[in-house]
Structure 1
């Protein structure tokens, strides 16, 4: 059995706000830590039947990049949901909403 590891490093300022963050993975082609500006980590707790979240961003994360980050996260969640459940109708609804979100946030490509 293979084991993979993901490592997240968050450096905090004196007020416990993220100053810098990096991530690396044992399966990554790039073996060095990669700087990141934002992250959303969600895990499902089967015992309590709920989701635990860790949502962080650095103090210098630009608002325009945060808008794109959320848009791409929503799109990716839809892709993952479709792959996991096969629920095409609701994923199409989510994609429609993502297009609306992109238009409202003025991040259309």
Structure 2
């Protein structure tokens, strides 16, 4: 069985707030790629709940955070459709993402 790793390195300030983050993905050819935000979700099969880690650096611009969240909403719709085949629900998620973009005044 083959194994691979994806890692995130986080540099914290004296108050434990992320100042700098880099990520690595062996199989993807990514090494020490800087990022300003990450959202990681894993499924706990025993408790039947999603566990999350949401981190962003203190210099992450608010407008970019809005764009980041908008793109996550869009990708959730894509993932949902691939996982379930339910195009109608995926379309609804896409519409919700577009409404979010309008309400958040995201400039695209």
Of 94-103 and 68-77, the range deviating more from structure 2: 94-103
Unaligned runs of 5+ in 1: none
Tell me if 1:4 matches 2:4.
Answer: yes
Equivalence map 1:90-101=2 (5 Å): 90-101=89-100
Q: Which residue number in structure 1 is paired with residue 105 of structure 2?
A: 106
Shift of 1:96: 0.7
Q: Deviations over 1:1-38 (max 9, x none)?
A: 221210111111111111111101011134x2100000
Q: Which residue number in structure 1 is paired with residue 23 of structure 2?
A: 23
Distance 2:94 2:5 in 1: 31
CA contact (8 A) 2:23 2:33 kept: yes
Q: What's the TM-score, normalizing by structure 2? A: 0.93
RMSD over aligned CA atoms reads 1.1
Distance 2:107 2:94 in 1: 13
Unaligned runs of 5+ in 2: none
Secondary structure class of the residue paired with 1:33: strand
Shift of 1:88: 1.1
Report the count of equivalent residues.
Answer: 108
Shift of 1:106: 2.4
